[in-house]
Structure 1
Amino acid sequence: MAGLSSFLLLVVGVLTWQLVVDDPYVAPSPAAPTARAVDSAAAGRVLDALVDAVSAADPEAARALAAEGDQAAGDLLAAVATNAGELRVRDFSARYVASTGPATADGTWSVRADVAWRFDGFDRAPALAEVPVAFRSVDGEVGLVSIGGGDGRTPVWLAGEVSVRRTPETLVLAAVAADVDRYARLAARAVPVVRRVVTDWRPRLVVEVPASAEDLDRALDADPGTYAGIAAVTTSVDGSLAPGSPVHVMVNPVELGRLRPAGAQVVMSHEATHVATDAPTSSSTPLWLLEGFADYVALRDVRLPVATTAAQIIEQVRRDGVPDTLPGATEFDLRATHLGAVYESAWLACEVIAERAGEDALIALYDDVAAGMSLDRALRRAGLSERELVGAWQDRLSDLAA
């Protein structure tokens, strides 16, 4: 009862205080955490030291740059320096651009850093990307906490340890060690497939395999889920469309990993064709020709019936009828429905050109359009008009769907 009496006294005391005080009682708000100033000069010095450690491929020097007591940060930085040695990273730089806010109560803050790199023997010029980097100040000492995450790119080789396989013509890096040999074989086999058609290609094929589809989105600074249904994409690693920008094949290990060997090889050969023809920097080539030509190369020597390689467009034609026109840019949107059927229809258009005018004429057409020639003029050089091509393509679709 003593405890109860004390409780009642407390309640009565509060009520009495409320009766005799004019102002209502307001509980004090908890103190907000004090934002701490960032030390941009010290962070810049840490980035300079990271450049030295990575350029020297010195994992222990890199590890020493981690924030005090942060084992995970130390492991990440050591892995990055080791990756740099395996990948023969050159022209590496990291420049502090600006902080993205004040430091939190524990002394952590994030910055935007301009990071440049290239893989020696494969990239003609460095990639340059804005990469988020986090620092922490502990007892006045500034150290690195993380690289990537948040807004900006998280290059695969900067996200953690990668396994590397290299030949004179291919470079494969995979975040999951168990994946690397499979993708190295796919890349190596893609080279002769492409060179049978693109005979002047000097192969320098780089394939990057992040750990997940989510990591692929982060590597390409894409909205979450953008590449969830895509097996692979060929693109510049920094998002630049300038000629000479490093163009790599970026793999979604979930989608490509579930394909059978033949299907996975077709995908890799398709993407390697894009590398060989600098497709990501081609702004003048219609997507049906860009993607159809890559499939033409990848499927040229594959012994599969057309009922298999064109199954989705055959089904669509049976359901909806023959399309009026060749597929346009909107139909190749990653969020478009029936994307597989669109690719198959583009491949069949290139098949029709090769059958009517010959493979050399198809290659010349592709090169002419990529160089800026109008499609109509390039087709006429191949002995076709656009109207004749569309008609022959529609006839092929009708025949297949019959």
Structure 2
Amino acid sequence: MRSVLADAPSTKTGRPLLRAVGPRSALALSVALVAAMLIALVLQDERRRADPPGLTTGGPSPAAASTALRRFVEAVDERDPGLARDAAPPGNVDAAELLAALVGNAEKLAVSDFSARYVDAVGAVSPDGSWAAAVELTWRFAGFDGVPARAEVLVHLGGAGADTGIVQFGGDQPARGRRTPVWLTGPIQVAGNDKRVVLVAGSAVQARRVARRVDVGIHVVRRMLPRWRPRVVVEVPASAAALDEALGTEPGTHGSIAAVTAAVGAPAGTRTPAHVFVNPDVSDDLRPAGAQVVMSHELTHLATDATASPMQVWLLEGFADYVALRDVALPDRTTLARAIRLARRSGVPDHLPGPAELDSRAGDLQAAYEQAWLACRIVAERLGERGLVRVYRAADRGVPVERALRQAGLRQGELLREWRRRLRDLAG
């Protein structure tokens, strides 16, 4: 900033001569000085707000995030772990190794049709400058998924500007419909053949154990549904909490469920792959026979495309249990133990189990499953197994269950009366 006293040529003594500035010039310069000081103060205040002490410059940058996502997509497509490491923030070794492992997962699972589209920033910027973004992902396991899955996933990013990179997928977020695909959570074990692929966020021993259950379950289901050509995907997250993340549900939704067959992604009404998801916190505590029944039950759902079925839930779940228990030689007081206890405690129900009783968080869920199985067993006794399958297929096409039963030769009122009589007799 120039002074109001302008420099003049020096004298021979080396001391500068000063010349006076006129009144108009002085006023103009004073105004310029005040304006410049105000601008400097504003800029200084803006810098304070943008860069508080102790914070690393960073935060949401859609363009930088999109660049990091494109780099990771390319790494998956090329099966290039080195390129994946480049998609992490510089110097973040843990993130780089995680992304390299995810590329290894993609190779094991033959991931194709992989894409990532930035949607929006989510939440506040962390003190270290990292932040999260909602990202729409698509992916498909080639040879098993007929169409790509589509889901919104939370992606954590770090770094700033051109150094922005991916730190991890999922974690530390409420559900809000967002999912965290198991293959993007960390290193996995895969056991596959031409009929099934099992991916486990755990050990190779665990993967082989689950794969054996799948192989047996395929045989069980095909004995009842011989036309089924299995192309099965079974996913085992690390925990019940990870299962809720994989399915985009609120924490605790599947805490008591051993396994569930569910759409992998996409909103309702669109085509999307269905996989079996296993809850290791529950299934690992089951006896081998019980764990096998659970797997055969879920594979029945896959074989009949149950996730898209409009039928009444008692027939949907009861049929799957009927197939899974068809060759299990156990007395009724064992297979219906919980239903018997419930009947003794609360009386025999006056209706077949519905959505409320078969909700994943219902208090007497296992009793409701046993009740549904008993109803389907009575249908098979009256109409034969082929008759049960015909009723199931008709209901799957949208025919009301009451009409499907009547067309097959059994009235629903008659089924209900026999069902209640059996429970009453068993309850004593």
Partner of residue 230, structure 2 = 203
1:319-334 equivalence runs, <5 A: 319-334=345-360
Q: Residues 298-377 of structure 1: matches in 2 within 5 Å?
A: 298-377=324-403
Offset, 1:234: 0.5
Q: Which of the numbers 243, 263, 277 marks the counterpart of 1:236?
A: 263
**Which amino acid in the other structure matches residue 51 of structure 1?**
V
Deviation at 1:400, TM superposition (A): 2.2
Within 5 Å, which residues of 2 pair with 1:104-123?
A: 104-123=126-145
Question: TM-score w.r.t. structure 1 length?
Answer: 0.89
Task: Give distance in 2, aligned partners of 1:319 and 1:105.
Answer: 55
Q: Secondary structure at the match of 1:331?
A: coil
What is the 5 A alignment of 1:2-401? 36=58, 38-101=60-123, 103-138=125-160, 140-149=162-171, 150-151=173-174, 152-177=178-203, 178-238=205-265, 240-242=267-269, 244-282=271-309, 284-401=310-427
1-structure distance, mates of 2:130, 2:188: 27
User: What letter matches 2:118 in structure 1?
Assistant: Y
SS in 2 for 1:171: strand
Q: What secondary structure sits across from 2:295 in the alignment?
A: helix
Tell me which residue corresponds to 2:30: none
C-alpha change, 1:240 and 1:303, in structure 2 (3 Å) is: farther
Q: CA deviation digits over 1:290-330, x for unaligned, max 9?
A: 00000000000111222111111112222332211111111
Three-state SS of the structure 2 residue aligned to 1:329 is: coil
Displacement of 1:394 in angstroms is 1.2
Q: What letter corresponds to residue 170 of structure 1 in structure 2?
A: R
* In structure 1, C-alpha distance between the alignment counterparts of 2:123 and 2:377, rounded to whole Å: 55
C-alpha distance in 2 between matches for 1:220 and 1:105? 30
Equivalent-residue separation in structure 2 for 1:92 and 1:228 (angstroms): 30
Q: Could you tell me which amino acid in structure 1 is paired with residue 373 of structure 2?
A: W
> Residue type of the partner of 1:345?
Q
> How many residues are treated as equivalent by the alignment?
373
Superimposed CA distance per residue, residues 118-150 of structure 1 (whole angstroms, 9 cap, x where no aligned partner): 111111101000011122224741111111122
Q: In structure 2, what residue type is equivalent to 1:370?
A: D
TM superposition shift of 1:215:
0.7
After TM superposition, the structure 1 stretch with the greater mean CA deviation from structure 2, 41-50 or 250-259, is 41-50
Partner Cα distance (1:51, 1:192) in 2: 38
**Distance in structure 2 (CA, Å) of the matches to 1:243 and 1:361:** 31
- Work out the percentage of aligned pairs sharing the same amino acid: 50
How far did 1:263 drift?
A: 0.3
1:305–1:75 Cα change, 3 Å: same
Distance 2:258 2:312 in 1: 21
> Which has the larger displacement, 161-170 or 97-106?
97-106
User: Aligned in 2, Cα 1:239/1:294: closer, same or farther, shift over 3 Å?
Assistant: farther
Kindly provide the CA deviation profile for residues 189-248 of structure 1, in whole angstroms up to 9, marking residues without a partner as x: 100101111222110111100111111111111111111111001100115444641101
Deviations 1:322-378 (A, max 9, x none): 211111111111221111110000000000000011111100000001101111210
Supply the AA of the counterpart residue of 2:100: A
Q: 1:330 to 1:32 in 2, by over 3 A?
A: farther
Question: Please, which moves more after superposition, 380-389 or 55-64?
Answer: 55-64
**Structure 1: any 5+ residue segments left out of the alignment?**
1-30
2-structure distance, mates of 1:181, 1:153 = 26
| TM-score, scaled relative to structure 2 | 0.84
Partner secondary structure for residue 267 of structure 1: helix
How far apart, CA to CA, are the structure 2 residues paired with 1:85 and 1:197? 35
AA at the equivalent of 2:216: R
Indicate the SS of the match to 2:164.
strand
Q: Deviations over 1:249-307 (max 9, x none)?
A: 1011010000011000000000000111111111x211100000000000001112221
- Residues of 2 paired with 1:236 and 1:223: CA distance? 16
Of 124-133 and 236-245, the range deviating more from structure 2: 236-245
Structure number with bigger Rg: 2
* C-alpha separation in 1, matches of 2:259 and 2:118: 32
- 1:101, distance to aligned residue in structure 2 (A): 4.7
Q: What is the CA distance between 1:382 and its match in structure 2?
A: 1.4
**Could you tell me how far 1:55 is from its partner in structure 2?**
1.4
CA distance in 1, matches of 2:61, 2:380: 63
Structure 2 Cα separation of the partners of residues 243 and 171 of structure 1: 24
Which amino acid is 1:115 matched to? L
Paired letter, 1:202? R
The 2-side partners of 1:241 and 1:110 are apart by 26
2:91 aligned counterpart, secondary structure: coil
In the TM superposition, what is the alpha-carbon distance from 1:36 to its structure 2 partner? 4.8
Shift of 1:49: 1.2
Letter in 1 for 2:253: T
